[in-house]
Amino acid sequence: MPQFVPLRRSHHAECSWSRSSGYGFVAREMLAPILSLELPQAVLHLPLAFVPVESGFQLVAVLALRESENLFVVADGSWLAGAHIPAAFRAYPFALSQLPEADQALLSVDEGSPLIHGDDGGEPFFDAEGQLAPAVADILKFLEACERSRRATQRAVQALDAAGVIVPWPINLRSGEKQGAMQGLFRIDENLLNGLSPEAFESLRQAGALPLAYCQLLSAQHLERLGQLASARAGQPEPAPLSTSKA
């Protein structure tokens, strides 16, 4: 499990870090949070869905057909060529962490990661003046942009939830004679969306929720790709068919 702690000169001045050479650290992550800033790329490659969270729902990319698997991380730990890499994975071993005693999220590092070194074996966290090294400062800017987008995305998702257009999305799987179902995912109901009153539809537009809704609908076509990737990984000659329930 990640051990994110705030990056502090008093603790990390003599430490260093290395850039990740792959994505093995998320090889067992079936879902990835998706932000509005990456929707134009994510919708081209990944099936998107909603999952229940404490605050309502969260927009995610579905990366596998079963738990503890990521079909986009290949055997050598690299990401599948040509596929979008979720922003949530791109800054590792850095993240923004919200501490109870802090007013704002703090730049943190995963001290349990082999990319963090207790000496100068990698890139420094700080420059000679004690400021963030340029590479780390760039990562902080990226994470701050992600945090702003996360808040905007969550407002849009909350608007869709309040409008009543997010519904369960059971996905039926079949491989040979075996059948099963993925549960716990939710989708946009296009009929409910189109049936909203002009006032409710305008409210979604003002919340920036419409692009998110349409991207989720368009992305459902990529479920078939998950079936193909799962079949290839299992050594099956034919893609595993998938179907989605509209009920």
What digits encode the pLDDT tens for the residues 63-96? 998 899 999 999 999 999 999 999 999 999 999 9
Amino acid at 201: F
The encoded tokens of residue 224 equal: 């078939």
Please report the pLDDT score of residue 179 as a whole number: 59
pLDDT bin (cut points 50, 70, 90) of residue 208 is very high
Angstrom distance (rounded) from CA 167 to CA 189 = 6
pLDDT of res. 242: 52
State the pLDDT confidence band at 119, using cuts at 50, 70 and 90: confident
pLDDT score of 211: 97
pLDDT the model gives residue 177: 47
Closest by CA position to 39, among listed 206, 238, 210, 185: 210
Distance, CA of 247 to CA of 172 (rounded, Å): 12
- Residue 28, CA atoms < 13 Å, CB-side half-sphere: 3
pLDDT bin (cut points 50, 70, 90) of residue 132 is: very high
Residues of the chain with pLDDT > 70, as a percent, come to 90
- 97 HSE (CA, 13 A, CB side): 17
In sequence order, what are the residues at sequence separation of 6 or more whose Cβ sits closer than 8 angstroms to the Cβ of residue 202?
Answer: none
pLDDT exceeds cutoff 80 at 245: no
Start-to-end C-alpha separation, the chain: 37
Name which residue leads in pLDDT, 121 or 19: 19
Residue 104 pLDDT grade (very low, low, confident, very high; cuts 50, 70, 90): confident
